Structure 1
Amino acid sequence: MAHNMNLVVIDKWLAEERWSLEEVGSTIPAVFHLDAPNLVPLYLNYFGRNSYDLSNAELQVIGEDFHKLYIHSNTLQNVFPRVKQFFERKDFSDIFCEMVKIWYPLEKEYKLCLLTTKLSRINDGLVSITQPIEEIEGLAVKTQRLLREERFVVSNYHRFNHLTDREKQIIGLLANGMNGPAIANQLFLSKHTVQQHRKNINRKLGIHSFVELLKYAQAFGVV
């Protein structure tokens, strides 16, 4: 799984139990966290535990004190109210992005970070990624690209979800460079059946080129 896999797909896979929190967290070189409705983290991935010098057991003990220990007062006053409003809208397809200041105890400083979060289907809270700005290469370009990817998934989630598992499998194989006959041979299908699947895929997604198909494959993690 690519580390920049968008949160819509991550949340879907967690809800379907295709990946565990640790499996997802191990692929993300940033602070990946599952938050309670009151915005207190319930889980930190390995990267997050190292960054905050905090185990998940310690995280449970400090509870709501996490805010005053790790979150800058300006972030608590100006950003968290907007996160709470976002949460209360209960829109599972939406994404919230904002700059926040987080305390890094090993460096003994607050760092400006990019917070990306969405409602979680597994705990009625939030699933989030937080990364210091200084660690993001080409921030302006990368941020805009990630936002475009998130918007694409949000806009096309229901369309992609109407595909059958077989159609999604074929998209992945096409995106990996296989042609129709090769796919038919691998899946033990007739060439005609594969061709019909491709027609159904194009119709359901409203696409007319391989570039468009590849965009779906990358955005929804089937390649």
Structure 2
Amino acid sequence: MATTSIQDKIDTKIAEIALFADSLPAVVTLHDMRTGCICWMSPRGLKDIGVSLKELRALNAEEYYSRFFNEEDAKDYVPKIFGFIQRNNDDEILTFLQQVRFKATKDWNWHMSSVRILMRDDEHKPLLLIVMSFPIDSMHHMTVKASRLLEENNFLRKNFQNFDKLSDREREVLRLLALGKSSIDTASELFISQHTVEAHRKNIRQKLNSNSYYELCQYARAFDLI
């Protein structure tokens, strides 16, 4: 009886959202936290990704994300969503960038999505999550920034262990190197000898396994040294 009652409440909430969702400048998606699956998506979203609501409901969470979303940036925001759910905060809204693949094209389409808890069970646990996904025009400067952010996040994940080998002093030297400082300038700024700077630079290249100035700058950007 309790399960039916909860489902009735969910169906009522879906009906409420469905009345106006497709008039919004966003795709609305509802996640059933009992199963982790999608329980409803606005018609615009279903049309974009080319599936019926019945087909979408049959997918588990892993199938849903792997089929329609860029795996690389999902590695960044999916753990944040799990953390958001665990914090179980009524007032919190989580916003993130994601790339979605539409049926009509092989290209990724950038969206800015926001999620919040829409409904809870009798024990105050999250029951429904609502996600609103706003498309970002491909000509908009945000798509360039989002692509750059994704690239840096991917670089960070792949190279964290190498970067973690650097000492605090080596990170200072790397920062100044990425800023274009010469070994003489670096020595003066850090109050060390030029010979010591060169030794640090050699160690940095060995630990990061790179002699490329561009890649060393990637480390500095990805790990917020500059």
Structure with the larger RCO, 1 or 2 (CA within 8 Å, 6+ apart):
1
TM-score of the pair, normalised by structure 2: 0.49
